[in-house]
Amino acid sequence: MEQQARWWAVVAVMGGIFLLVTAEQLPIGLLSQIAREMGVSEGAAGLMVTVPGVVAAFAAPLLPVAVGRMDRRVMLTALMVAMTVGSVLSALASSFVALLAARVLIGVSIGGFWAIAGSIAPRLVPEQSVPRAMTIIFGGVTAASVLGVPLGTLLGDMSSWRWVFGGLGGVSLIVGGALWLTLPALAPREPVRLGVLFRQLANRGVRVAVLTTGCVVVGHFVAYTFISPVLQSISGVEQRHVGTLLLLYGAAGIIGNVVAGMRAARNPYIAVLTIPVLLVVIVASFPLLGTNPLTGVGLLMLWGAVFGGISVSIQTWILRTAPNTEAATALMAFVFNLSIGLGALLGGRVVDATSLPTTLWSAAALFLVGVVLVGRTPSRLVNKERIR
């Protein structure tokens, strides 16, 4: 009975990840609508992704340090309450500046939650079940794509983006209650300090994971932040169909997460290497091959399936190599979320200064750097270790 309760806790953590990633990326599907109402350009509207991404990046390593030995159950529940407040304030924002300010609170919630969630699986389930628990938890990332962002886009098209943000706040409060009821007391095994965080980089496996994550995630959000304009301008897709296509994109990501989770459990090196290799081909070819709705949608589905596996693959790599998994996960959360923010910011500058095809090729160049980083790393460095 106790073991069954632990699996419900895994599901609750997944729900938190799902809502946080939804909140972070939700403006992507509503970008054009919010930009029009707030009177800003689409490039400037991309700051709604940049701001929480950058804030989350710094909250990820600093919040665990600040709270010290706080019970992780209390911390995760409190962060979901903060997420609720940030979402409601976003819905009520009277100006773009006020909206960005509310997104700061959401960024704090994202960073703190992600920093802890990634290292919880080994503490909730037996060692042999850790890969499965990891796949479930980080399935929240792709579930946000398949349900959160596309559903938010559809609801926003039918009503208003404000109602979408308000509804997200209500669901966040429910998930916060589920975390409190299902999680056991989780005192930190070793308090996370800044010195411990920086020492993780002395480990080559962690260092390669950090750099590769930065390249892949920055590259992805350089392009994906503007997927709605890309589909409309390059592939000739009508705006009213974008929400449905993002739903299919997320469905492909769910499949990719499951496949990558199984692959990473056996060989995390190959799992991580395969992702940037395929992304280079898919994104670089989009301006050339995705010039009609059929090929554009096909490439979008491949894109979703491949990127859907990045979180579980990288986290499995970290669990195989990191000396301190909670510290390394906090560091990875810093890099992942900073990369989201920087990717959206860089993509906005490239879009405003050049063109959508150039933005896609810039993303492909970053993926290629990720290929080189992993390719130059001996596979035995990752595959010889065991998940702890």
pTM attached to this predicted model: 0.73
Residue type (1 letter), 216: V
d(CA 299, CA 223): 13
The pLDDT tens digits of the residues spanning 295-312 come to: 999 999 999 999 988 888
Is residue 147 a contact partner of residue 250, using CB atoms and an 8 Å limit? yes
d(CA 98, CA 96): 5
Query: Hey, how many other C-beta atoms are within 10 angstroms of the C-beta on 66?
Result: 11
Q: Read off the tokens for 20.
A: 């946080």
Residue 153 pLDDT? 77
DSSP for 334-355 reads HHHHHHHHHHHHHHHHHHHHS-
Helices (H), the chain: 2-38, 42-45, 47-67, 72-92, 96-117, 121-124, 130-143, 149-158, 161-182, 194-199, 204-224, 227-233, 242-266, 268-289, 293-307, 310-321, 325-353, 356-375, 380-383
Residue 384 has pLDDT above 70, yes or no: no
Residue 192 pLDDT? 59
Q: Which long-range contacts (CB under 8 A, 24 or more apart) does 88-92 make?
A: 88/165, 88/166, 88/169, 90/165, 91/162, 91/163, 91/164, 91/165, 91/166, 91/169, 92/162
How high is the mean pLDDT of the chain?
A: 83
d(CA 273, CA 300): 20
CA–CA distances in Å: residue 180 to residues 16, 109, 185: 12, 16, 10
Residue 388 has pLDDT above 50, yes or no: no
Backbone region of residue 68 per phi and psi (left: phi > 0; alpha: psi in -120 to 50; beta: other values): left
Residue 1 has pLDDT above 50, yes or no: no
Q: Read off the tokens for 229.
A: 């304009």
Is residue 176 a contact partner of residue 73, using CB atoms and an 8 Å limit? no
Is residue 145 a contact partner of residue 250, using CB atoms and an 8 Å limit? yes
d(CA 276, CA 319): 20
The pLDDT tens digits of the residues spanning 116-151 come to: 776 777 778 777 777 778 778 877 776 776 677 777
Q: Read off the tokens for 105.
A: 């609170």
Q: Could you tell me the sign of the dihedral formed by the alpha carbons of 118, 320, 215, 227, in that order? A: negative
Rounded mean pLDDT, 316-339: 79
Residue 82 pLDDT? 92
Residue with tokens 């970008």: 31
Residue 217 pLDDT? 92
Residue with tokens 């939650």: 113
**Of 111, 326, 354, which Cα lies nearest the Cα of 222?**
354
